Structure 1
Amino acid sequence: MSLVLNREQLSDYLVEVFPQVEKDFVIDSLDENSITMRLKVGDRHLRPGGTVSGPSMFGLADVSVYAMILALKGRQSLAVTTGCSMDFMRKPDGANDMIARCSLLKLGKTLAVGDVLMFSEGSVKPVARATMTYSLPPAGSAAAAFG
């Protein structure tokens, strides 16, 4: 499947519909098979002990899969998260940004499933892995016309 939105168009759209995304998340790279996103780690993302919080990592995984769906489906897609499974494997470094590498395992008419590996910038060892499931609105529905 080819991209409907390029990196710049996707970034602009995310800021338009979710302005809060701009201060926290950046698209590092995008192609038809994957997206790499960055969480700009700040004090608001840390929990005691200087580690990145679980909710912050969930947010990174969630926005990564959502962005990949939008890149392939376009501005018309109002996907909603219906499931998440996360494994936390090691302590993330709160002094560095978090990097997420996301690919879609399935992109159907009504369901999308994405896989996300998250790393502390500069490390090759993943700190977390998430599998996210999204419900996609039926074609022609009011929800599909969002945007």
Structure 2
Amino acid sequence: MEILMDADRLNAFLATDFPQVADGCSIRSVAPDKLVALLQIGDQHLRPGGTVSGPSIFALADVAIYCAILSRIGPVALAVTINASIDFMRKPAAGRNLLAECRILKLGRSLAVAEAMIFSEGSAEGVARCSMTYSIPPKRQ
């Protein structure tokens, strides 16, 4: 399936439609088999002990998977998460941004299933793995 939205178009879409996440989260690259997103870690993402909070990791996965799906279907703002599962595997490296590498596993007319592996920037060991299912609204006739 062809790419309908590249990284620049996805970042512009986030800035317009989801400015609440566009400040710290950006799409780095889009390829037919993988999307890479970045969460720029700031104090607002940290929990006591100086590690990145689970909700911040989950938010990166959700934005990355959403954008991976939009890269294939176009700017459908009303595509929504209907199921999510996340496994936290290890503590993120201190003082490093997080990267999400996403793959679409199934893209149908009404449902999309994808997964994201989250890494501390510069590390090959995964911090978390997330799988999500999105509902895609019907196209207007």
- TM-score using structure 2 length: 0.95
Q: Tell me which amino acid in the other structure corresponds to 1:130.
A: C
Unpaired runs of 5+ residues, structure 1, are 142-147
Aligned-pair distance for 1:33?
Answer: 1.8
User: What per-residue deviation string (whole Å, max 9, x for no partner) do you get for residues 63-113 of structure 1?
Assistant: 001001111101135210011110000001231000100010011001011
Indicate the residue corresponding to 2:88 in structure 1: 88
The aligned runs of 1:68-79 (5 Å cut-off) are: 68-76=68-76, 78-79=78-79
Where does structure 1 differ by over 6 angstroms across 4 or more consecutive aligned residues? none
When the two structures are aligned, how many residues end up with a matched partner? 141
Indicate the residue corresponding to 2:104 in structure 1: 104
User: What per-residue deviation string (whole Å, max 9, x for no partner) do you get for residues 43-67 of structure 1?
Assistant: 0000011111000011000000100
Aligned-pair distance for 1:31?
Answer: 1.1
SS at match of 1:59: helix
- Provide the rounded CA distance (Å) in 1 between the counterparts of 2:138 and 2:50: 43
- Provide the rounded CA distance (Å) in 1 between the counterparts of 2:92 and 2:131: 18
Indicate the residue corresponding to 1:30 in structure 2: 30
- Provide the rounded CA distance (Å) in 2 between the counterparts of 1:65 and 1:19: 17
- Provide the rounded CA distance (Å) in 2 between the counterparts of 1:112 and 1:47: 32
Indicate the residue corresponding to 1:2 in structure 2: 2
1:114 counterpart = 2:104? no
Q: Tell me which amino acid in the other structure corresponds to 2:31.
A: D
Contact kept, 8 Å, 1:46 with 1:94, in 2: the verdict is: no
Aligned identity (percent) is 48
SS at match of 2:57: helix
The aligned runs of 1:125-136 (5 Å cut-off) are: 125-136=125-136
- Provide the rounded CA distance (Å) in 2 between the counterparts of 1:54 and 1:110: 29
Indicate the residue corresponding to 1:52 in structure 2: 52
SS at match of 2:133: strand
1:43 counterpart = 2:43? yes
SS at match of 2:4: coil
Contact kept, 8 Å, 2:61 with 2:100, in 1: the verdict is: yes
- Provide the rounded CA distance (Å) in 1 between the counterparts of 2:30 and 2:22: 17
Indicate the residue corresponding to 1:145 in structure 2: none
Contact kept, 8 Å, 1:3 with 1:72, in 2: the verdict is: yes
- Provide the rounded CA distance (Å) in 1 between the counterparts of 2:6 and 2:120: 25
User: What per-residue deviation string (whole Å, max 9, x for no partner) do you get for residues 4-45 of structure 1?
Assistant: 112111111111100122211011111122100000000000
Contact kept, 8 Å, 2:41 with 2:97, in 1: the verdict is: yes
